[in-house]
Amino acid sequence: MLKKTLLVFSVLMIVSGCSTIITPVRAGEPLPSSEEEKKILAVLDDMDKKQRPGMMNVPVEDGRLLRLLTEAANAKHVVEIGTSNGYSGIWFCLALHKTGGTLTTYEIDAARAALARENFRRAGVDKIVTLIEGDAHEQVTKLKDPIDMVFLDADKTGYIDYLNKLLPLVRPGGLIIAHNMNPRMADPIYIKAITSDPRLETIFLNMQAAGVGVTLRKR
Ligand SMILES: C[S@@+](CC[C@H](N)C(=O)[O-])C[C@H]1O[C@@H](n2cnc3c(N)ncnc32)[C@H](O)[C@@H]1O
């Protein structure tokens, strides 16, 4: 009897202990601090609820991460490969309208590019966005200005080409952020490039979902 009671007690202790460890801490909703921010967040929320199918957008948590990194880095020029309908781009703009920066974003699909233009306009960020329609592998070679942050979110096997073409423009202390770093989706050649180059420091975040690689071009 005593043995049985002890066993039940031990099981209860383990279960309650585990639940304390795995209870997730929620960040809560992003809280707007100005009318401009409120308008941008409302458009993001609308896109999240109504436009996701077929748009391959980053999850909300990853969007919030992009905004946070951009604002913390005081980024003035962000380059995004893979605009889709502009969802992640608008998260960048939430930070860029505070830092006084701009976004250059690339999209090969004309219909998604048109939808992105409309979303940038209704979020009121169109003036700080340059959307370039076409194949980013060719188009990025025209970039000449320094870049504070690159976001790779297009053809996965193309990441290594984008890295090789854009890294020389990324300022020391700048970031290269890559989406879909989960081993189910990521290109091993890109992973090797960002984890074996002593000029770079890489960490991986949100790997329980699509996964985000954050790579620092060291000073
Ligand atoms: C995963 S979606 C981007 C999602 C977007 N970053 C977001 O979170 O809202 C990838 C996009 O990259 C575009 N794309 C694929 N290859 C491309 C290329 N070579 N040049 C430009 N855009 C490309 C696709 O048409 C697609 O819209």
Range of the domain at 76: 34-217
Summarised one tens digit per residue, pLDDT across range 111-154 is 999 999 999 999 999 999 999 999 999 999 999 999 999 999 99
Segment 39-57 shows an average pLDDT of 98
Sorted by sequence, the CB contacts under 8 Å of residue 98 that are 6+ apart come out as 71
Sorted by sequence, the CB contacts under 8 Å of residue 109 that are 6+ apart come out as 84
What pLDDT sits at residue 23? 73
Question: Three-state SS for 54?
Answer: coil
Say if residue 188's pLDDT is above 60.
Answer: yes
Report residue 7's pLDDT band, with 50, 70 and 90 as the boundaries. low
What is the distance between the alpha carbons of residues 207 and 151, in angstroms, rounded to a whole number? 17
Q: Give the single-character DSSP code of 34.
A: S
- Residue 59 in tokens: 């999850």
Q: Measured in whole angstroms, how far is the alpha carbon of residue 77 from the centre of its chain? A: 15
Say if residue 44's pLDDT is above 50.
Answer: yes
Segment 34-61 shows an average pLDDT of 97
In a domain, 10, yes or no: no
- What is the distance in A from the centroid of ligand 1 to the CA of 32? 28
Q: Dihedral of CA 82/85/91/96: which sign?
A: positive
In a domain, 13, yes or no: no
In a domain, 193, yes or no: yes
What pLDDT sits at residue 12? 47
In a domain, 91, yes or no: yes
Say if residue 81's pLDDT is above 60.
Answer: yes
What pLDDT sits at residue 3? 56
In a domain, 47, yes or no: yes
pTM: 0.91
Q: Given the CA of residue 135, which atom of ligand 1 is nearest to it?
A: 20
CB 63 within 8 A of CB 88: yes
Tell me, what CATH number does 171's domain have? Answer: 3.40.50.150
Q: Is 190 in the pocket of ligand 1 (CB under 6 A)?
A: no
- What is the distance in A from the centroid of ligand 1 to the CA of 208? 22
In a domain, 106, yes or no: yes
Nearest CA to ligand 1 atom 8: 57
In a domain, 23, yes or no: no
Summarised one tens digit per residue, pLDDT across range 165-175 is 999 999 999 99
- Residue 154 in tokens: 């297009």
Q: pLDDT higher for 100 or 14? A: 100
